[in-house]
Amino acid sequence: MNKRNIYVTGAEQGSGKSIIMLAMMDMLSGYASKIGFFRPIIHTHEKQDELIQFVRNKYQIDFSYDAMYGCELEEARALLEKNKYNELLKRILTKYRALSDQCEYVLCVGPDYRGDDSIFEFDFNAEVANNLGCLIMPVVQGQGRNDFQIIDAVNRLKHALLEFDCDLLACIINGVAVEQLDILRGRFSHRPENRFPVYIVPTEPTLYKPSLGNIASQLDTDVLSGNKQTLNRLVSHYKIAAMQVPDFLDLLEEGDLIITPSDRADIILACFMAYSSSNYPQIAGLLLTGKQQTAIQVKSLLAGLGETPFAVLSVAHDTFTTAMQIREVKARFYSQDERKIATALGLVESNLDFSDMKQRLSAKHSDRVTPLMFEYEQIQRAKQDIRHIVLPEGSEERILRAAQILLLRKAVNITLLGDVDEIRQKIKTLDLQLDDINIINPLQSVLRKLFAEAYFNIRKDKGVTYDMAYDIMSDVSYFGTMMVHLNHADGMVSGAVHTTQHTIRPAFQIIKTRPGTAIVSSVFFMCMEDRVLVYGDCAVNPDPDAQQLADIAISAAMTAKMYNIAPRVAMLSYSTGESGKGEAVDKVRQAVAIARLAHPELKIEGPMQYDAAVDAGVARTKLPDSEVAGQANVFIFPDLNTGNNTYKAVQRSSGAIAIGPILQGLNKPVNDLSRGCTVTDIVNTVVMTAIQSQSKN
């Protein structure tokens, strides 16, 4: 069967097709290892097309910018003025095919509607989609329309698609008011047998609010202060501050962007003071106008504050001109705006049936697995059976940012541990969307006595008294572990600020090992460019004996299966096959024999050097009849020193993403983070923990 690419286009102006585009790119990134992005026409007044730049950064697409569009607007208009419409289509098709030939799938996005130019009409997009051989995915505006208007718009679209004989993937009605959903879903269907599937996506007001980053980019401002997080803040209102400070303070609202002349030191200082005061709402940012210079003393005062709590932008235009221009700023995506991206993905993924869409694409796809494909698949698996994960380090910024992404993606439910007031203040200061998140303070929780009693019963033979148990339950790691043990949570992730021992010792004492497992061990999922490898044990056991090494290998193979990786296990050593002698290589040889005896169905071989495990040419020479050599995907290192150094060397030298350590062998999932972990690392580890929990049912 031939592959079919997708063409997303607005059926009219203001459809919000970028939200749908984002979800479809995310779906394809989990479905194919080599995806492309293409725009038939880009607007030449922009330095570079923002949508292309966003997709290249977000999805790490390595095609050149020029390869990702057909032609520029001025060129297209010149051809149309000369009645060379077919020549325009030919130029677009030529560049599209050059890109498509290098990809498994390409997502095309039609030009934005601007003015009365025929290039931006739906007819043009329908014809381009047909010429490119794409399945079309039109997006109808639902925002601000009643039921009759929406139904009429969809019917007109249906007639247009029939007129142009387009191959339809699905029609999307975007931005529908919540109270209209039931009626419209009753009217339209997306059943597999339906030749005109219609999906309805409800409105989400935050997606239509511009961020400080949007304003900085579209008004070409100078950023006097601000980082990624403060530039991601959404603007709810614009306020021009031209009055005295007392009157100005009376007008402040949450999410205001304050616009004021650069020389208004009183307003500038009042903004910073009001932000820090619990008596006033927190503004989104400050935009200074005009060519006047802010007083050097004020600049010096602000510089001494360190990182400012909100972004400060500057533009050379006067206040009136700026106020007029700012109303034209559009709420657009950019790759660093994690909250808005997660909100959009969570919204669309909850309302579209991607399994049906994949069937409609009806194309073969590669067996290769990229990091994006692996991460996407795991998130989708987590969403199928929502698990509850406890995060003991509730006041840590990276944990809070990861929690926001996970909740917006609707991947898990989360409980944070720590001081409730401190965490709520941190959430407010960071401007995170975590209003409904569950927070427990172990010191004040009604569960503390219950947990202390349970811990006392588990550890009384070790000399632990009830009073000691009660004190121990004030520790977030012990409290979180007890939540998992007593089914108040399905799993725990910690270690962003705590040591590995602080994280896993309570699990060893309380949760303990799974029946039939002799040892708790760990694996890292090494996401290479086009495949995912499993490394174990790189984090827990310093020098396992032969029996323990066999147990690590069996556990690693089971873990690989849990995440849909068919295990081919290489037991690594400094020699391959029968060539080496010595205590270390003999240990590996014994471990292989033990593992094969316990699980004869496993593909497991060793001792084996790393080159023989991964390189087919070397494997043919050293182990010509092996089912594992040259194609191993689970690697078991003989000791912690070798494993830990190898995973870090591969990670740093190849740019691989290392997810883990994922602990294996426990009765219930508890996983450790590196103290240098990123927000993405935390998100991945929480999702993996949720999937571990699913497998226990």
80-89, 105-114, 262-271, 350-359 — most confident range: 262-271
Per-residue confidence band for 365, with pLDDT thresholds at 50, 70 and 90: very low
Q: What's the CA dihedral at 480, 486, 489, 494 to 10 degrees?
A: 30
* pLDDT value at 115 more than 60: no
- Which of 79, 167, 159 is CA-nearest to residue 129? 167
Residue 520 burial (C-beta neighbours within 10 Å; 0-12, 13-18, 19+): buried
Mean residue pLDDT of the chain comes to 88
* pLDDT value at 540 more than 80: yes
Tokens 């339950």 locate to 473
Amino acid symbol at 345: L
- For the segment 236-250, the average pLDDT, to the nearest whole number, is 92
Specify the higher pLDDT residue, 139 or 12: 139
d(CA 174, CA 154): 12
53-57, 86-90, 592-596 — most confident range: 592-596
The H-assigned helical ranges of 439-519 are 447-459, 466-472, 476-485, 500-510
174: Cβ–Cβ under 8 A, 6 or more apart, which residues?
15, 16, 17, 19, 20, 139, 140, 141, 142, 143, 201
What's the order of all strands across the beta sheet hosting 311-315? Answer: 222-225, 311-315, 285-289, 256-261, 237-240
Task: Look at residue 367 in the predicted model and tell me its pLDDT.
Answer: 54
pLDDT of 414-469, one tens digit each?
999 999 999 999 998 888 889 889 999 999 999 999 999 999 999 989 999 999 99
521: Cβ–Cβ under 8 A, 6 or more apart, which residues?
536, 537, 540, 541, 544, 551, 552, 555, 556, 663, 664, 665
Task: Look at residue 697 in the predicted model and tell me its pLDDT.
Answer: 52
Residue 127 burial (C-beta neighbours within 10 Å; 0-12, 13-18, 19+): middle
Task: Please give the full DSSP string across 194-249, using - where no structure is assigned.
Answer: -SS-EEEEE--GGGGSPBHHHHHHHTT-EEEE--HHHHTPBP-EEEE--S-HHHHH
d(CA 655, CA 635): 18
Residue 533 burial (C-beta neighbours within 10 Å; 0-12, 13-18, 19+): buried
452: Cβ–Cβ under 8 A, 6 or more apart, which residues?
466, 469, 470, 472, 473
- Which of 299, 279, 283 is CA-nearest to residue 225? 299
Task: Look at residue 483 in the predicted model and tell me its pLDDT.
Answer: 96
SS3 state at 605: strand
d(CA 327, CA 210): 10
pLDDT of 323-346, one tens digit each?
999 988 888 887 778 888 899 999
The H-assigned helical ranges of 5-102 are 17-29, 50-59, 73-81, 85-100
* pLDDT value at 116 more than 60: no
What is the DSSP code (8-state) at residue 168?
Answer: B
Specify the higher pLDDT residue, 301 or 537: 537
What is the DSSP code (8-state) at residue 666?
Answer: B
Contact 439, 420 (CB under 8 A): yes
- Which of 182, 696, 231, 195 is CA-nearest to residue 485? 696
Task: Look at residue 46 in the predicted model and tell me its pLDDT.
Answer: 58
* pLDDT value at 563 more than 70: yes
d(CA 187, CA 199): 11
Q: What pTM does this model have?
A: 0.78
Domains and CATH numbers, the chain: 6-206+341-361 (3.40.50.300), 212-326 (3.40.1390.20), 371-510 (3.40.50.10950), 521-665 (3.40.50.10750)
- Consecutive H or E run containing 176: strand 171-176
- Which of 535, 522, 548, 557 is CA-nearest to residue 643? 535
d(CA 688, CA 262): 49
472: Cβ–Cβ under 8 A, 6 or more apart, which residues?
452, 455, 464, 478
d(CA 655, CA 663): 23
